[in-house]
Structure formats: structure tokens, C-alpha cells
């Protein structure tokens, strides 16, 4: 019992430390009528080393993430994975150079189950 309690406490502490470093860049309710959506991040200043996406309310099959930078360049991430509600992608490392994020374009497919929409939140780790 003591080991289980210690393990639970350690996981809460590590999640809390992670949450302090990651900043929420934006969120979007994605509709399964579309299958493409954009999260605008232009109000945030600074450079980011990594991002991750978290899915709430319903699962989606995330195909591709396109990160568009302030200088007009972009970086694609091909995920091709079903994300269950409450789950997130692994941290995605951004390329060197201008990593000021202007927007994030999502390409996804409807997950089976009759859901109408899901909430997608994007978080960034500053350099």
C-alpha cells in the first residue's frame, strides 16, 4: 500500500512539473463535418521548441499537423493515429530556426462512435 501511495504521489508531482513548463497556445472544437481545422497562435510571442496536442470529449484519427511559423515557413508532422479522448500526442520537436508559431493546421478523420465534435488543445514548450 505504501509503495502504491508513493508511486501515485510521484506521478502527480511529475505531471505538475510538466504542466508548469508547457503553455496552452490555443484550442479548437473540431467538427466531424469538416476534417480540417486551424488553431491560430498569432497572439503569443516567443519561440517554442516542442508542441503537443490533447484531445477532449471524443476520439479523433489525427492524420497530419502542419505548424506554420511567423516567417512563412512550416513543418509537417504525420501522426496517422487514433487519439482517444483525454489522450495526447507525444511532444513534437520543432525544427531549428524561426520557431515563432503563427498557426497550426490539423488534418483528421472522424473516429467511429457517432461523435459530433471533439476539443483539441495545443500546448507549447518555450525555448
Handedness of CA 33, 38, 40, 41 (dihedral sign): positive
Reported as a single tens digit per residue, the pLDDT across 56-78 is 999 999 999 999 998 889 999 99
Integer angstrom CA distances of residue 85 from 10, 20, 42, 56, 88: 24, 22, 27, 5, 8
Q: Cα(14)–Cα(35) distance, rounded to whole angstroms?
A: 34
Reported as a single tens digit per residue, the pLDDT across 85-116 is 999 999 999 987 668 999 999 999 877 777 78
Identify whether the C-beta of residue 61 lies closer than 8 Å to the C-beta of residue 111. Answer: yes
Amino acid at each position: 500500500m505504501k509503495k502504491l501511495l508513493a508511486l501515485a504521489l510521484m506521478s502527480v508531482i511529475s505531471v505538475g512539473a510538466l504542466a508548469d513548463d508547457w503553455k496552452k497556445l490555443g484550442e479548437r472544437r473540431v467538427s466531424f463535418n469538416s476534417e480540417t481545422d486551424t488553431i491560430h497562435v498569432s497572439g503569443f510571442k516567443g519561440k517554442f521548441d516542442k508542441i503537443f496536442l490533447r484531445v477532449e470529449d471524443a476520439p479523433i484519427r489525427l492524420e497530419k499537423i502542419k505548424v506554420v511559423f511567423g516567417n512563412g515557413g512550416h513543418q509537417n508532422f504525420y501522426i496517422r493515429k487514433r487519439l482517444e479522448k483525454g489522450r495526447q500526442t507525444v511532444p513534437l520537436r520543432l525544427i531549428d530556426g524561426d520557431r515563432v508559431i503563427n498557426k497550426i493546421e490539423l488534418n483528421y478523420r472522424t473516429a467511429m462512435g457517432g461523435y459530433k465534435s471533439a476539443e483539441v488543445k495545443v500546448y507549447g514548450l518555450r525555448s
